[in-house]
Amino acid sequence: MTEGLKEAVRMAGVVGAGGGGFPTYAKLLAGAEVILINGAECEPLLRVDQQLLRDETGLVIEGLRTLVRACGARRGVIALKAKYKEAVLKVKELISRGASGGEFDVFELGDFYPAGDEHVLVYEALGKIIPEGGLPIQVGVVVANVETAYNVALAMEGRPVVEKFVTVTGAVKNPVTVRVPVGVAIRDLLELAGGPAVAPFAVIEGGPMMGREVDPREPVTKTTKGIIVLPADHPLIYRKRANSAAAASLARTVCMQCRFCTDLCPRRLLGHHLEPHRITRAVGSGRAFAPEEVTQAFLCVSCGVCDYFACPHGISPRLIFNEIKKILAQKKVPNPHRAADLQPEEMRRWRKIPSQRLLVRLGLEDYEHPAPLIADRDSLMREVKTVTLPLKQAAGAVPKPVVRPGERVEKGQVIAEVPAGSLGVPLHASISGVVRKVSPEMVIEKVGKE
């Protein structure tokens, strides 16, 4: 039974919809005691998960129920911010009505960043500390994003992942959250939000903290959560364009060793041996790095707190760590940091970053608007004429095309599959049409009347 559920989730192409894109079936391991649904949505401006929890509560809970069964878990917990009042009420209502079968709870999070970081979330909601460099399953927990749970519920109905919920916000005329086919061009999404309200503009895919600047011609993938339009000269856009060489140069010239980057680092506050001020000191001194200064890069999750919030000079230990991580990967150096007996710092409760202060620090307070989920989703779907589906959209093996150019495909049909036994999920056609290209991305064009 459990294997059947896992295979159904794999075949539907379900991956973490919240950023990482890890294949969900591979997380469904025996031994999990708790399935924790991550509804924190802690990146400023994003609005997908809180609205799914409010409007698609039944499906999210159904997905959670499936995950609990697949893992043989004892409990399911939905963690979301207390400030998502309507969603909290709806989830509690359905659970109290018995929709959960009695084994589910709600945990209300504070309004801080990064409440949705897996290590932070598991500690906040369950009081468990995941070891350094470790996974939630090491403390008996499987974490799944809200939209991932929603997709698991659809998978049980035989419906693969062909659509994505995306918040389109920032400097657009009408911020919205939409459900669109995977593969639609970002520039087409901008039209759904009334178009950019500024010129020239730049686009961030993801949240303001962990997202990246993208070309609007790029497609929406299974992990796209937000599209944020900003004036091209917005300070955050300049920050997104910074590189590790610029970060090192700034560290050399102005780092004053105040330690704010270390004192506010969310992983450090959980007890991880991560001290970003030491890497900026090493860069500044020009001396050879000590081994522990280098390998602590493994513990950095690029949350952006050190550079976007903590450092008075805007120095980015994060970018320096990213560069070190690349070098360590090339040299195949394993992560030596695996401490499990971690003690959160006493000051932790006072050092969480309030979301509103973060918004102001990022210069985004003028863009803090609702982005309502558009009800008439089907009409949006019909307007899409072409989709571009990168073969690599998730962690694991890259699926290989199983259709050819010129072939007609139907929405939901498998168009690329991973080799047997490899970690990975198949890719499905997100619209019906004719295949125009198969690699490195698949292009499907709608022909005639649908």
305 is a contact residue toward ligand SF4 (CB under 6 A): yes
The CA distance from 155 to 149, in Å, is 10
In the bound state with ligand SF4, the residue whose beta carbon lies nearer, of 88 and 359, is 359
Contacting residue, 139, 265, 373, 384, with ligand SF4 by CB under 6 A: 265
In the bound state with ligand SF4, the residue whose beta carbon lies nearer, of 89 and 256, is 256
C-beta of residue 302 within 8 angstroms of C-beta of residue 209: no
The CA distance from 60 to 305, in Å, is 30
367 is a contact residue toward ligand SF4 (CB under 6 A): no
Structure tokens at 100: 């959960």
The CA distance from 256 to 38, in Å, is 37
280 is a contact residue toward ligand SF4 (CB under 6 A): yes
Contacting residue, 8, 274, 418, 442, with ligand SF4 by CB under 6 A: 274
Say which DSSP state 282 is in: H
| Other CB atoms within 10 A of residue 94 CB | 17
Smallest separation (angstroms) from ligand SF4 to the CB of 300 = 3
277 is a contact residue toward ligand SF4 (CB under 6 A): yes
259 is a contact residue toward ligand SF4 (CB under 6 A): yes
Window of 146-154, 223-231, 254-262, 375-383 that interacts with ligand SF4 by CB under 6 A: 254-262
CA-CA distances (angstroms) from residue 190 to 67, 177, 184, 331?
A: 34, 11, 11, 41
Question: How does strand 212-214 pair with strand 201-205?
Answer: antiparallel
Question: How does strand 176-181 pair with strand 163-170?
Answer: antiparallel
In the bound state with ligand SF4, the residue whose beta carbon lies nearer, of 258 and 447, is 258
The CA distance from 30 to 385, in Å, is 43
| Other CB atoms within 10 A of residue 331 CB | 7
256 is a contact residue toward ligand SF4 (CB under 6 A): yes
261 is a contact residue toward ligand SF4 (CB under 6 A): yes
257 is a contact residue toward ligand SF4 (CB under 6 A): yes
> Tokens 């050399």 label which residue?
252
311 is a contact residue toward ligand SF4 (CB under 6 A): yes
The CA distance from 227 to 186, in Å, is 8
* Of residues 320-339, those binding ligand SF4 (CB under 6 A): 321
In the bound state with ligand SF4, the residue whose beta carbon lies nearer, of 219 and 271, is 271
Among 149, 179, 151, smallest CA distance to 11 is for 151
Total residues interacting with ligand SF4, rule: CB under 6 A? 27
Smallest separation (angstroms) from ligand SF4 to the CB of 240 = 14
The SS3 of residue 309 is helix
Smallest separation (angstroms) from ligand SF4 to the CB of 413 = 40
Task: Establish whether the linkage from the previous residue to 440 is cis, with ω within 30° of 0.
Answer: yes
In the bound state with ligand SF4, the residue whose beta carbon lies nearer, of 6 and 325, is 325
**For residue 401, with 0-12 CB atoms within 10 Å meaning exposed, 13-18 middle and 19 or more buried, which class applies?**
middle
Window of 87-95, 196-204, 295-303, 378-386 that interacts with ligand SF4 by CB under 6 A: 295-303
Window of 29-37, 178-186, 188-196, 315-323 that interacts with ligand SF4 by CB under 6 A: 315-323
> Tokens 């049909």 label which residue?
413
The SS3 of residue 441 is strand
Q: What distance separates the 2 farthest-apart alpha carbons in the chain? A: 67
315 is a contact residue toward ligand SF4 (CB under 6 A): yes
In the bound state with ligand SF4, the residue whose beta carbon lies nearer, of 117 and 188, is 117
In the bound state with ligand SF4, the residue whose beta carbon lies nearer, of 201 and 321, is 321
Window of 139-147, 256-264, 362-370, 403-411 that interacts with ligand SF4 by CB under 6 A: 256-264
269 is a contact residue toward ligand SF4 (CB under 6 A): no
The CA distance from 115 to 123, in Å, is 10
258 is a contact residue toward ligand SF4 (CB under 6 A): yes
In the bound state with ligand SF4, the residue whose beta carbon lies nearer, of 78 and 315, is 315
In the bound state with ligand SF4, the residue whose beta carbon lies nearer, of 123 and 201, is 123
Alpha helices in 331-376 (DSSP H): 355-361
In the bound state with ligand SF4, the residue whose beta carbon lies nearer, of 257 and 422, is 257
**For residue 310, with 0-12 CB atoms within 10 Å meaning exposed, 13-18 middle and 19 or more buried, which class applies?**
buried
Interface positions with ligand SF4 (CB under 6 A):
255-261, 265, 267, 274, 276-277, 280, 300-306, 310-311, 313, 315, 317-318, 321
